[in-house]
Structure formats: structure tokens, C-alpha cells
Amino acid sequence: MKKPRDLDAELQALQQRAKALKGRRVAQFGELVIAAGADRLNMEVLAGALIAAAKADGAAQETWRRLGAGFFQGQAGTAPTPAHGSQRRAPDGGGASPG
């Protein structure tokens, strides 16, 4: 005779896995916001942009999809630009090096 399945334990394991996956997804979205340079935007602007993107027509979304794909592939011209003409700092924390 087969051993009966512990459905409660299986359900609990699935719930824990779903919670871990949701946490990882939230973290990845946060990393994306930072990588794209959108962390410099205030929350209202970022939320408005995301709402507009979610409501946009297919043509606009396709344009943004191509831009995003280029960003992930590291193509030139897709890196975020500093807001209001400010210069980005070098990875070592210093400014632009002379010469």
C-alpha cells in the first residue's frame, strides 16, 4: 500500500517557495530600477511612468521593449543619462579623470 501524501506539508512548502520567488522578483525589480538610473526619480514620477507604460499601446511598448533589450545587451546609446546635466561619478567615487 502507498504511503499517504502529507498535503498540508506540500502546501506549506509551495507557499514558502512562492514567498521566496516573490521576494526574489521584488529584489530584481529594485535592481532594474537602479541599473536603469530610475532611482534618481521621485516615487510619484516613477509610478506615473510605470502606469503610463502599462496603459500604452502596443507600438509604444514594442519601442520600449527594443530599447530595453538593447540596454540588457549593453548596446551603445542605451545607457541612462544623468538627470539635469549632472555628471555621473566614476566607480571609484571620484569625478572624471583629467586627460
What are the tens digits of pLDDT across the range 5-57? Answer: 899 999 999 999 999 999 999 999 999 999 999 999 999 999 999 999 999 99
pTM for the whole thing? 0.60
Sign of the C-alpha dihedral, residues 29, 30, 36, 40?
Answer: positive
Q: Using the predicted structure, report yes or no on whether residue 85 has a pLDDT greater than 90.
A: no
Joined grid coordinates for residue 78: 542605451
- Where are the domains positioned within the chain? 13-71
What pLDDT is attached to residue 17?
Answer: 97
Separation in Å, CA 87 to CA 2, 19, 40, 44: 68, 39, 13, 24
Q: Using the predicted structure, report yes or no on whether residue 74 has a pLDDT greater than 50.
A: yes
49 near 41, Cβ under 8 Å? yes
